[in-house]
Structure 1
Amino acid sequence: MGTVTRGTTNPNRLRRMDRWIAAIHGSELRRADDPLAVDLGYGAAPWTAVELLQRLRTVAPRARVVGVEIDPARVAAAKPYERDGLEFRHGGFEIPLPARPSLIRAANVLRQYEEAEVAAVWARLCARLAPAGATSRGGLLVEGTCDEIGRRHVWVALGPEGPRTVTFATRLGSLGRPSDLAERLPKALIHRNVPGEPVHAFLRDFDRAWAAAAPYASYGARQRWIRAVRDLAADWPVTDGAPRWRQGEVTVRWEALAPATSTSAFT
């Protein structure tokens, strides 16, 4: 279920997303009976699935990854890369697996769909996640967009109940101002970066905090980013702290950035 995407990909492109997943969701993967992760729409080459397995196994040694692609030719091309813990299957948003995964990563997939289609895709994918339990929040869907070499990335994290957070991640040395990340907003938000929408107000305030933190630039872009995020957190529900900020990241609760006029059940 779905349509064939352009399939462009590069080695190491999703490193920022993978690093965040390992830090934030690693404990859930370790506790899972079957720590299954899906790389949905991995593209014309299998690099991102191969790298996802490597990175997840640093925090969850039993993790396994299934790359899912809707283009049969891409699946056939990826088959030689299969090994212990890594396989490739033909499929789409239905996630053609008997087990319910602990993680679904969908990077640069919905970018090519219409905004009106996003909520239904999210709902379908969230319904396939491992459910929450007494000691677990359930599986995680991470859906977002990045540039061709992974310097700028924005993603939404969703649980079985729906969206939880939005994360902005960047290579700080290449950043002019935080609103440069607007071009990488996921499909649910990219058309909402206009006056009157929460994500526009957030990026406006982030740019102002960045400008106010200019004196910290003498200590490096990292210290300027940390100071800007610390000031931003006074008015926005930032969910992480300095250890993540040092990575060039900031995570905000979804409700604060959700489209003002959306009719989605998730908002």
Structure 2
Amino acid sequence: MARIRVRIAPLAALSAALLLTAGCADGSGTSSEPTAAAPAGAGERKVKPVVVVTTAWEGAFAKAAGAENVKVIVPQSVHHAPDYDPKPSDLAAVAQADFVLYAPFEPYAAKIKETAGSRAKLVEVNLDNDADKVGAEVARLGALFGTESAAAQWKSGFDGEYARLSGELKAAWPGGTSPNAVSQVFTVWAAKLAGATTVGSFGPEPVTPAQLAELSAKKPSLVLDNAHMSTGTVLPDTGARQVEIVNYPGPDLDLLPVYRNAAAELKKAMGGS
């Protein structure tokens, strides 16, 4: 996916507006009083933490881990996050947060927290929809939030749904044989879901002529592109079916439809119904 860099310059000017809004909720369901972090070994929180996330992807991880008060800063309507200027309400939400979740390619998260004067804990999230990595991150966040049982319950449901989707895709293999796939670096998880044999990868930079020749020579039947940073047809004139994989969840911050939608597109590409 594309690197996310939000301009920081406007934040200084917005910090003054924060003084007028920090004492109020911003309409997202966040509390005006931050919730203290649960001490080690204290078990489940009685009050769920207030979590601010930079994008919906982190939001889905937080929700899966049991967070209920989740505020997303960058709207889904913003296709290029660097074009987004945080609003006073964003800064107010950060000031009220217990946790601020961000990805390592989003360096502006720390500056947002600093500008807003928040005492929230900054948490770096490994954004990868690989099933094993998702399970590990959800468990880690659940431990941080004090919502371990909710995270474990989500993981149980996720494992069952993932196994079902993977089984259906393997049953749809053309001729009963695992298809060869070339994947963008952030869509390898979808090839794994389908049980496809990954014979090469590309990105996040555009494919060079040398890469094009190398990947085409592997004769893949599937090309799994990243819908969030597609540069068009990756391997033209090879006969490979290109599938656009979406990594981000919808407004409900539910991660499971990401897998269901990917499975549906992969099944169509493999010739299934």
Q: Provide the TM-score with structure 1 as the length reference.
A: 0.26
Q: Which has the higher contact order (CA 8 A, sep 6+)?
A: 2
Specify which structure has the higher proportion of strand: 1
Q: Rg: which structure is higher?
A: 2
Compute the TM-score of the two structures, normalised by the length of structure 2.
0.26
